[in-house]
Amino acid sequence: MGTMLKVGAVTAIIVVVGFVGLTLRPSGQHSVGGVQSVVPSVSPSVVIEQEELRPDVRLTSERFHPRVSFVLRAISGLHGETTDWCPNISTSERTLTLRWLNACREELRLTRPFAVDCGTPDEHPDATALAAAILRMDRVRDMGDLTWFAKLAPSFDVGGYTGRALLTGAAAEESQRPDQAGPCRLLPEPGTSDPTIEITGHTPGLTVLMDIDGELVVLQAPVFDGAPGALLRSFLSFGFIGPEGGQ
């Protein structure tokens, strides 16, 4: 069990994904377990709440914290003005949701939960403690620390952070545990319109739990045909930036 962190108890600073108080990283590359990952520019040029998603430019959210910067490819990897994502994004201080262009139903979500209801001893756990609670459910596989995620999605810069990567909806014969726990719920801040996010072992998906500057950030993505990294390949780069990075 990891050290308990106070999620939501810290004045504005999971993968979900705008961050306050993060250490600013220079442009370049970082290595996680020998895997190189691209670090986006600290000066993103397009704010997604103000303009439509565009490929091959730096994007950021002015609402989500901790702050993020990312670059999307053009649709199907070709040059053009359209990305693989629908224009109807959703953002708040604690959530950032992108919807896949195919019917706009599949979502990539970053969440910085206010608290969790997952059977942990504390409602503000770190990534290790939350992973242990989720792993009590059937059909959940522990893929290891963020080194595994860095190999799966090398365009995502997670160097220097701690966390766990989980796959849900695994084949029954690959699961070693009976269903000992109910769903895990990521709770929104009271008084906001953010949804409660439920994690179960029965829906195929990728869940990455990260400790970012003392707070829990959760990234969730669907799994297509057993390939958890399919949607992540539409990102040319993705990383967290400090508040001093500016726009």
Number of domains within the chain: 1
**Which pLDDT does position 75 carry in this prediction?**
85
Pick 74 or 172 by higher pLDDT: 74
User: Do the beta carbons of residue 14 and residue 216 sit within 8 Å?
Assistant: yes
- Residue 42, pLDDT above cutoff 60: no
Q: Does residue 21 belong to any structural domain of this protein? A: no
Question: CA 174 to CA 185: how far, in whole Å?
Answer: 24
**Which pLDDT does position 156 carry in this prediction?**
96
Amino acid at 210: M
Q: Does residue 7 belong to any structural domain of this protein? A: no
Band (203; pLDDT cuts 50, 70, 90)? confident
> How far, in Å, are 42, 50, 133, 203 from residue 157 at the CA level?
13, 25, 26, 26
**Which pLDDT does position 244 carry in this prediction?**
40
> How far, in Å, are 16, 173, 178, 235, 243 from residue 222 at the CA level?
13, 21, 23, 15, 30
Q: Does residue 220 belong to any structural domain of this protein? A: yes
Band (5; pLDDT cuts 50, 70, 90)? very low
**Which pLDDT does position 143 carry in this prediction?**
94
Mean pLDDT of 19-24: 30
**Which pLDDT does position 173 carry in this prediction?**
47
Handedness of CA 63, 10, 159, 230 (dihedral sign): negative
Mean pLDDT of 18-33: 36
Task: Quote the domain boundaries for residue 155.
Answer: 28-245
Question: CA 21 to CA 139: how far, in whole Å?
Answer: 36
**Which pLDDT does position 24 carry in this prediction?**
30
- Residue 197, pLDDT above cutoff 70: yes
Q: Does residue 23 belong to any structural domain of this protein? A: no
**Which pLDDT does position 174 carry in this prediction?**
59
pTM, two decimal places:
0.79
Q: What is the pLDDT of residues 99-129, one digit of tens each?
A: 998 889 899 999 999 999 999 999 999 999 9
**Which pLDDT does position 176 carry in this prediction?**
57
Pick 130 or 37 by higher pLDDT: 130
**Cβ of 176: how many Cβ atoms within 10 Å?**
10
User: Do the beta carbons of residue 91 and residue 61 sit within 8 Å?
Assistant: yes
- Residue 72, pLDDT above cutoff 70: yes
Band (146; pLDDT cuts 50, 70, 90)? very high
**Which pLDDT does position 180 carry in this prediction?**
60
**Which pLDDT does position 237 carry in this prediction?**
94
Q: Does residue 22 belong to any structural domain of this protein? A: no
Q: Which of 33-37, 51-55, 221-225 has the highest mean pLDDT?
A: 51-55
Band (224; pLDDT cuts 50, 70, 90)? confident
